Chain A
Amino acid sequence: MRTSLFKSWFLLGAAAVLAIPTVSLAQNTAYQENQWMEMQSHIGKFSGHAAAAKSDYRRYCVGCHGELGDGNGENFPWLDPKPRDFTLGVFKCRSTPTGTLPTDEDLFNTIARGLVTSNMPQWNTFTNQQRADLVAYVKHFSARFQNEKPGEPIQIPPEPEITADRVKAGQEVFNRVQCWKCHGVEGRGNGPSASTLTDDQSRPILAYNFHDETRFKCGTSDQDLYKIFMTGLDGTPMPSWSDNIKPDEAWDLVFYLRSLQPMKSKEKEIARQLGLKPVNPNAPAAQPPATQPPATQPPATPPPAAQPPGSQP
């Protein structure tokens, strides 16, 4: 009788001791979850709250990005490129240097704009407030946003006037820093290294084809294009070029890349008048192709209709 009483007390005590870590663990997770749910975003006059985006995320985002934000939603197997894994806190479209977190505005713009050549649509249907809330929700998935501040946005000098010299100089930059290694001599995304490119998860990834799209991965403006190559697209093979392309040269490159796009533009017209031919990697280093003997075929860039195999879908 007496021993069994001791025994039951002992068992109760043991159970309590065993239960303590379990309870505290559960509390900790719940606490953390609640705290992370306090994540906010600030874009202009809009302040977003993660908690407010819960239902929107579950309705519109969860199918691809998954409940845990790890990009492993039910559509994952069918998508290419794969949905972003928010838990990593690594984002392509940033105004901030490589290796740093994007600003709230960067994420806000990505949601609004969508990502060309991927399955991420433009979320025009959301109000600005909904987008701001979703930015906070996207941030709440990654510990990086708990521990780090966004990077300092890069300085973009005012856009200079488009001139023939600048378009030509831009092509020289394209040749000198060897953008063509991946993007190809004509910017069709078919350079010698294009076929072996992989993202940070070792999944095959395509180099951007400038002839295919009117939009860039991270926007449509000249400033957006400037930002893409000066900050790099983190998580992809595209590095940051800010150490090796000066701001003034960067504008030249922007104008040259514009001339490759399918739509009419001042840059395209200039390139046509200049008779710009694709860069020639076999020419002596730093020799602009314009100084080569004139070609028999005058068109600067082949018409966009003629797409070689290996161009983007």
Chain B
Amino acid sequence: MNAQSRYKFLSVLSAVVLLSVGILAWGPKVNAAGEGKITGSVKLSGTAPHMRGIDMSKDPYCSKAHESNPAKMENVVVGSGGGLANVVLYISEGLSGNELNAVPSEEPTFNQKGCMYTPHVLAVDVNQKFKVATEDQTTHNIHPLPAPGGGNIGWNKSQPLGAPPIETSWKNQEVAITVKCNIHPWMHGWHVVVKGPYAVTDESGNYTIKNVPPGSYTVTAWQEEYGTQTQKVTVAAGKPGAADFTFKAK
């Protein structure tokens, strides 16, 4: 072991010790403060871009699945009243200690259905377990492509018809990881890996970030086409924070 890796080891060790002490000291408090939340909505101003239809004729199974409801791209999904779906909201500043490092126990599923990803955007916490599942009677390959050097490592696994779900997680924060299926080139989704509480907007563009203790935060909203926006939000005891975002159509 050379000098550098010894220091690295020592620093990691001390970090682990500090962290465990921190968890012991802070644990009970966090549970008490876990009721706070941040709510709001995300809208798109201007004319929503045209989402082109997807030609799935190369795989008859896929095109048949969309016979009555033609599939189209999902880069920008605008609901009633201009609400923007699939926007990830997370706390980019102001969290500390346990709130930052707690990993949710829920295990969300990134599903393949009708040769599309549902949800189109999956948000997870660092190290949060999630499943990649398929309901399709056709073979997919799941190929996440994290940015090189960011600490997350890409992989490429097959999921033929009837394959069991893949259980996995991401080690590092990354907004956002592209996920594709090489067999069905139109299949394109996102894994958004954040630290701390997060939310994804529903079809009407509404969201609620739960388990936010009282404090002052910066909330970041990420949309795959329009990038990020931030806002300062204060959460007081018994009074949820609020932040509405508006992205401008290009």
Which residues of A are at the interface with B, using a C-beta cutoff of 8 A? Answer: 35, 87-88, 90, 98-100, 143-144, 148, 176-178, 181-182, 192-193, 196-198, 200, 232, 234, 236-241, 243-244, 285
A239-B141 contact, Cβ under 8 Å, with A181-B183, A232-B156? yes
Interface string of B148-171 (1 = CB under 8 A from A): 110001111111110110100000
Q: Decide: A234 and B158 in contact? CB cutoff 8 A.
A: no
Q: B141, A243: Cβ atoms under 8 Å?
A: no
Contact A193 B164 (CB under 8 A): no
Determine if B153 and A99 form an interchain contact, defined as CB atoms under 8 angstroms apart. yes
Contact present for B182 and A232 (CB under 8 Å): no
A-B contact pairs, 12 of them (CB 8 A): A90-B154, A144-B153, A177-B158, A178-B160, A181-B59, A182-B182, A196-B185, A197-B185, A237-B183, A239-B143, A243-B159, A244-B163
Is residue B142 contacting chain A, with contact meaning CB distance below 8 A? Answer: yes
Residues of A within 8 A of B183 (CB): 178, 181-182, 193, 237
B138 / chain A contacts, CB cutoff of 8 Å: 178
Contacts of A144 in B (CB 8 A): 153
Q: Is B68 interfacial (CB 8 A cutoff)? A: no
**Chain A residues positioned under 8 Å from B185 (CB to CB):** 193, 196-198
Is B29 at the interface (CB under 8 A from chain A)?
no
* B residues in contact with A182, CB < 8 Å: 182-183
A232 to B153, CA, bound (A): 15
Q: Which of A176, A178, A192, A232 contacts B157 (CB 8 A)?
A: A232
A177-B139, A178-B138, A200-B145 given as contacts; is B182 within 8 A of A240 (CB)? no
B155 near A99 (CB under 8 angstroms)?
A: yes
Given A35-B4, A87-B148, answer yes or no on A239-B156 (Cβ-Cβ < 8 Å): yes
Asked if residues A234 and B160 are in contact (CB atoms below 8 Å), the reply is no
Which residues of chain B have a CB within 8 Å of any CB of chain A?
2, 4, 58-59, 137-139, 141-143, 145, 148-149, 153-161, 163-164, 166, 182-185
Besides the contacts A182-B183, A198-B185, A239-B143, what 19 more A-B pairs have beta carbons closer than 8 Å? A35-B2, A98-B155, A98-B156, A98-B157, A99-B154, A99-B156, A143-B149, A178-B161, A178-B183, A182-B182, A192-B59, A234-B155, A239-B141, A239-B158, A240-B155, A240-B157, A240-B158, A243-B157, A243-B158
Partner of A243, one of B2, B4, B163, B182: B163
Q: Residue of B at shortest CB range from A281?
A: B60
Cβ distance B91 to chain A, nearest Cβ, rounded Å: 28
Measured in the bound complex, the distance between the Cα atoms of B151 and A99 in whole Å is 12
Cβ of A176: which chain B residues have Cβ within 8 Å of it? 160-161
User: From A205, which residue of chain B is reached at the shortest CB distance?
Assistant: B182
- Contact call B158/A244, Cβ cutoff below 8 A: yes
Query: Is the beta-carbon distance between B154 and A239 smaller than 8 angstroms?
Result: no
Task: Give min CB distance, A284 to chain B, whole Å.
Answer: 11
Cβ of A196: which chain B residues have Cβ within 8 Å of it?
58, 185
Q: How many angstroms from the CA of A236 to the CA of B138 in the assembled complex?
A: 20
B158 is contacted by which of A192, A193, A241 (Cβ under 8 Å)?
Answer: A241
Q: Which residues of B contact A98 (CB under 8 A)?
A: 155-157
> Which residues of A are found within 8 Å of B166, using beta-carbon distances?
243
Q: Give the residues in chain B near A35, CB-CB below 8 Å.
A: 2, 4
Query: Please, how many angstroms separate the alpha-carbon atoms of A176 and B138 in the complex?
Result: 9
Most buried by A among B153, B164, B185: B153
> Which chain A residue has the least Cβ–Cβ distance from B140?
A239
B141 to chain A: which residues have CB within 8 Å? 237, 239
B134 CB to closest chain A CB (Å) equals 11
Q: Is there an interface contact between A244 and B182, defined as CB atoms closer than 8 Å?
A: no
Complex Cα spacing A239 to B155, Å: 8
Looking at B4, B139, B159, the one whose CB has the most chain A CB atoms below 10 A away is B139
Q: How far is the CB of A247 from chain B (nearest CB, A)?
A: 16
Interface-centre pick from B4, B138, B143, B183 (highest chain A CB count, 10 A): B183
Q: Is the CB of A237 within 8 A of B156?
A: yes
Identify the closest chain B residue to A181 (Cβ). B183
Most buried by A among B153, B155, B161, B182: B182
Complex Cα–Cα for A237 and B139 (A): 13
